[in-house]
Copies of this chain bind each other. A is one copy, B any other.
């Protein structure tokens, strides 16, 4: 069989008491999603199917800020964004301001495969979900206590965006990203997760998914920049990720993180903050499941 690889994230940002209190549950959630995605790759599923299926698992897990467990905007409402991109064809689908749809990533896939558009927002996205008979849930399905508290206390640990990148046995790459946005955002705020080139990008060389301060990810067009550092400068994957995320000469003034996979099955993880919930299995079957940096004082197992 050809090389396969997968990586996922569940957000990057500052540490919080909630994360510390749920450390084991987060690791378990990451590992479960990773292993299910990897099993699909082993069975020969396409990268595109795998990133969608894996992100659905993370959307259904209320610990993460996507699908169930999404952040609440300043009106106390959930509005979700998601995007998916096929590295082989460069086809992409994205949705924003999504309500009611249990799995926004699957709606993004429908935009890609069933419309002539790349991005559909708001009521148009909901109409498309109904037309495609996607599962809808009442608004309170998405709302969890942690997010109610974050909004009340004007805290935002909302950086729990999820994402998945994969290389399949046919040598194709794909990326998927899904988010509930940020706590206390203005209504209608659209973040990086659904922006092709910013929070989600894939081509024939690499696939990336980003998380963190979305506005910084948008203006730095981070996922596309990593791809072009590889294409135009011949940089290896991890170096390209670090060049963008942890560049000392040209720092990003906020919390950002990214996961990437290249066509050889290498995995890149890079973040410039306390933690990035992440997991991956590379071309050699090496597994990583982690939250804090190696050596960080924040690690319970330090």
Contacts and interface: CB of A to CB of B under 8 A. Distances in A.
Interface in A167-217: 185-191, 195-198, 201, 214-215
6 closest A-B pairs by beta carbon, nearest first, are A124-B188, A197-B221, A124-B187, A119-B190, A122-B122, A232-B232
Nearest to A229: B232
A219 interface: yes
14 contacts: A85-B219, A90-B220, A117-B215, A118-B219, A119-B191, A120-B190, A121-B188, A122-B123, A124-B186, A124-B189, A195-B195, A197-B221, A221-B224, A228-B228
Tell me how many chains of this kind the complex includes.
2
A281 interface: no
Contacts of A302: none
Interface of A: 85, 90-92, 94, 96-97, 115-125, 127-128, 185-191, 195-198, 201, 214-215, 218-221, 224-225, 228-229, 232-233
Nearest to A222: B197
Contacts of A94: 190
Nearest to A220: B90
A68 to B, nearest CB: 23
B119 A189 contact: yes
Contacts of A124: 97, 186-189
Nearest to A228: B228
Nearest to A195: B195
Contact of A196 (B117, B121, B128, B198): B198
Given A120-B186, A201-B221, 4 more contacts: A121-B121, A121-B189, A124-B186, A225-B228
Given A190-B96, A232-B228, A117 B221 contact: no
A96 B116 contact: no
B201 A91 contact: no
Contacts of A185: 117
